[in-house]
Structure 1
Amino acid sequence: MKFLTAAFSLLLVSSPVFSCDWKISKTRDQMTDVVTCAVTSAKAKVSFYRHGKDRPNVYDGSAYSESGLRIRIDDNKVISMGDNAYTRQKALDELLPQLKSGTRIRTAFDDYPEYKEGDAPLCNLQKLLDAC
């Protein structure tokens, strides 16, 4: 029994810890009462947001409009978010269903002078987006 307890303790110490850091924030426009909701992860380095009843969109927080945001859910192919409305909508068509079934999100984008990468579990992201 001591051996099993020691082995289990060692396993716990050597296992990576994946904590959820998705946070939700809502703001209401005083003139229109439209709610803008954002779900953000510092580990993933992205925010998903929804303005009113619009579908969710994604933002990387870069200071530059053309950051080249790339997202990968689990081991699926990389999705390039695109910097114009047409390519972004096509990318969202691919990305949003993957958020429902995925477990991990990885991101990469340029934020001159840095190249940033994020890696986080999806955890409760979909529930938070549904609550927006």
Structure 2
Amino acid sequence: DLSAVQKALDAGANVAHCDKEQQNSALHWAARDGRVEMLTVLLEEDGARVDGKNGVGLTPLHMAAAYGWDDCVPVLLEAGADSSLVSGQGLTPLQVATNKAKDADAGDKGRYQAVVAQLGGAAAAP
């Protein structure tokens, strides 16, 4: 929860710390889970690595794009996230979002199309 994260940061927690298993930072988890408020707090901290890659080469922007979080993508871009970085599979966040948009169900397709547009791609017709 956001208040627990703020308390940890106030106590000196390292915002760039990554878990051992997947090498995700707090930014990766917040981006994956669509936690825009948490992303904002984390990005304000010294040491936040907006373009940090996890164990499979995904940045927080890749994670937000992969899950269709159209409210998180602009926050990451405004913080300086590099949308041209490629994952371990050689995909940019735009390519990840485009691939997900093709397979998304009707309820999620609009979010993915918004992410594609935010990343500079042409959104496909619904």
Tell whether the structures are fold-level matches, with TM greater than 0.5.
no
Indicate the structure (1 or 2) with the bigger Cα radius of gyration.
1
Richer in strand (by share)? 1
Q: TM-score, normalised by structure 1?
A: 0.24
Greater RCO (CA < 8 Å, at least 6 residues apart)? 1
Give TM-score, length-normalised by structure 2.
0.25
